Every structure is written in C-alpha cells, then in structure tokens.
Amino acid sequence: MSDPTASSLILLGIGGAGCRIAAGISRAYGGNLRLLTLDTDASGASGVPFTLIGGNLLAGRGSGGSVPNARNAAKDDLGQLEQKLQGVKTAVIVTCLGGGTGGGVTLEVLQYLRQNGITSLVFATEPFGFEGEARSACARSVKGILEDNADVTVFLPLDTLVATSGTTDNMPESLQRGVDMVSTGVTLLWRLLEKPGFIRLDAERLRHLIEDGGNAGFATATATGPDRAAIVTGALKDSPLLRSSVQNRAVLVGVLAGDDLKLSEIGKISESVSFTFGAEARMELGTVNDEATFSGRLTVVILAIRGGKKSKAASKTASGKSRASLGTPSDRGRFNRAEPTLRNGVDLDIPTYLRQAITFDR
C-alpha cells in the first residue's frame, strides 16, 4: 500500500517500551505502515510518528509509574487522536504493563476507541519476575479493566515469552529480547494482513474475528528443511503461549513462506491447527508469498481467540458505539436501591475509582 494513511488498520505503540516495539515493527516493515506512538515521556520518540500525552500535566517527564497520573494526562489529550484516527476501523495496540503509561494511557485510549467504534486488538507484555513485585502488581491492577475495554487482548508474560526462545540472557538483554520477540510476531501479523498472498487474510477479516471480543494466545514458529511444516506445527502445539483451558472460538493462522510453499504443507498446518484448537473453532487462514524475505523458510503465526461476546462488560449506545459499563449494583453503596444515574450507558452512582480501576493503598 503506497499511502499508509489510507489504511483502515493502524498500529499504536503506547508507553516507552510500546513505542520501541512499534518502532521495531515499522523498521522491519520498511516504514510503510499506518503508525502512531504515544508516550508521556517526550524523550522516548525517535523516527516514528509520535504524540506526547499529558504535556500540560506531566511536562513530558513521564507518569512516574503512576497509572492514575497517566490516565488523567491522557484524558487531557485524547482530542488529538481524532484527526490521526480518521478512517481507522481497527487498531492494533502494542504496550508493556508494569509502568504508569503502558497501563494508564492504554486504558484511556481503549475507551476512546470504543466510543468511536474502532475495534481494538491489544498486545500487552507482562513484566519479568526480576522487575519486582511493584511492577507486577501494577500490571495486575490494570489487566481486568484492560480486558473489559479492548475487543481482544493478548497478554504476553515476558518470562514465558523469552523462555520459548531457549536462550539465557542477562537482564538488559532479556528485556530487549522480549521487545524484539513481540516486534517480530506483530510484524509477521502485519505482513499477513497488509500483503496477503493467494489465500487472503486482510484487515477486514481480522476485524470481524476480533469484534466479538475475548482473550487470545499468540505465537509464531519458523522452520526450514523438508520437514519444516511438521516442525512448526509441533512447536506451536507445545507453545506455552497458546495453552488455555478455555475453548477457542476462532483461530487466525498465517502461513508465510517463499515461492517454495507447497499445498501439502498448508494442508498439514490446517489439519494440525484444527486438531490442536478444536474443530469447533472457526479457522481463518491466510498466506504470504514473499521469496525475498522467506526464501527456504516456513513461518506460521497463530492468534487463538477464546471467550468473547458474553464475557465483555461492554454495552452498545444508541449510536452503535460501545462503552464500558463496569461495576455491579453491590458497589453502589448508599445508592443501591436508587434509580441509577446513567450517562452514555455508564452508571455514575458506582464509585468512579471502581469504574476506572484505580488502585490505592488504604
């Protein structure tokens, strides 16, 4: 696509690490993709379209690890997104939980997307164990509300993600490896959607898959040689990133290879996916034929979506746009038996901190 701004699919990188992942995807993709990065720290922007969030409140110095600070800052600046999201139907967000901006700004952006009828797929990494309990707790505090506001969420625990690479790194290398692995995976997904081969899987089909909501597992595998199809299907079958006790409702399968891709290989992958994820799961398969990039290699990308529809706390407004409606009647305190104070489908009698998942230490 020559003009990325004409695409209905946008990549949003949020927070410092989210911006780095997005920049990595942009480089790998040759820069020709619709992209926007958002951060509360002005020093994080480099070579990609960047919007500073909360300049007035935080002076471009970051959120200080505070989710409420980042959320308040984002509320001031969401108006900036209107022009930048013109024509967008689906947003893929990459972010890292554990800090203030990755959690806080992402939540506000998701609510904005939902209000504007834009479907969202979020890739959110969870911090390594060695990063400490404070960052883990911060990530845990926003996961629930993030799920409630995104259409589909992919949580990628960095410990698990890096363990699948089979390498042992020191701390900075591990962090970089985590960022690189997410970049690589999402780049493959982007190629699949924006440069489809003879079996098309485009952005519109992705949107239909994710608009019913849910959580997803995401993994990739690559192999070469005559048994490459068997090797990648075996690796994906065993991937801890795809393990779930919940029935998958849909599986997106991307097969990326050079000119040597055989129909028998596609058949083998399709059969294995159906066996692994259940015949009931709707399968959407697409291919990319790119001899220059994948010569001799076979790469498979899997996005396995489970749950959805009834598991979301989203409601549709009269305009067809969705809004989050969180909390339960038992949270309304002295207003328990009173007529709810509704505004755009949200019950304002429920304490704000509960609806916004603001955490605090009593």
Inter-residue contact 108 to 99 (CB < 8 Å): no
Residues 297-316 that bind other proteins (CB under 8 A): none
User: Nearest to residue 60, comparing CAs of 69, 70, 52?
Assistant: 52
Under rule CB under 8 A, residue 325 binds other proteins: no
Spatial distance between the Cα atoms of 92 and 97, rounded to a whole number of angstroms: 16
The pattern of x and - marking residues 68 through 107 that bind other proteins according to CB under 8 A reads x---x--xx-------------------------------
**20 versus 323: smaller Cβ distance to other proteins:** 323
Which range binds other proteins by CB under 8 A, 150-158, 252-260, 279-287, 331-339? Answer: 331-339
Which range binds other proteins by CB under 8 A, 139-147, 200-208, 284-292, 326-334? Answer: 326-334
Inter-residue contact 254 to 199 (CB < 8 Å): no
**CA 108 to chain CA centroid, nearest Å:** 15
The pattern of x and - marking residues 9 through 48 that bind other proteins according to CB under 8 A reads ----------------------------------------
Joined tokens for residue 95: 């972010």
Among 34, 57, 85, 298, binds other proteins (CB under 8 A): 57
Which range binds other proteins by CB under 8 A, 36-44, 284-292, 309-317, 343-351? Answer: 343-351
User: Nearest to residue 123, comparing CAs of 70, 185, 165?
Assistant: 185
CB of 319 to other proteins, least distance (A): 15
Under rule CB under 8 A, residue 343 binds other proteins: yes
Three-class SS state of 42: helix
User: Nearest to residue 70, comparing CAs of 133, 141, 22?
Assistant: 141
Under rule CB under 8 A, residue 349 binds other proteins: yes
Three-class SS state of 79: helix
- 67-77 and 100-115 helices cross at what angle (nearest 10)? 40
Three-class SS state of 179: helix
CB of 352 to other proteins, least distance (A): 4
Under rule CB under 8 A, residue 65 binds other proteins: no
Which range binds other proteins by CB under 8 A, 98-106, 121-129, 301-309, 332-340? Answer: 332-340
Q: What is the DSSP letter of 361?
A: -
CB of 353 to other proteins, least distance (A): 5
Residues 265-284 that bind other proteins (CB under 8 A): none
Under rule CB under 8 A, residue 56 binds other proteins: yes
User: Nearest to residue 122, comparing CAs of 148, 98, 155?
Assistant: 155
Calculate the CA dihedral of residues 262, 264, 269, 272 and round it to 10 degrees. -170
Q: What residue ranges bind other proteins (CB under 8 A)?
A: 56-57, 68, 72, 75-76, 331-335, 338, 341, 343, 348-349, 351-354, 356, 358, 360-362
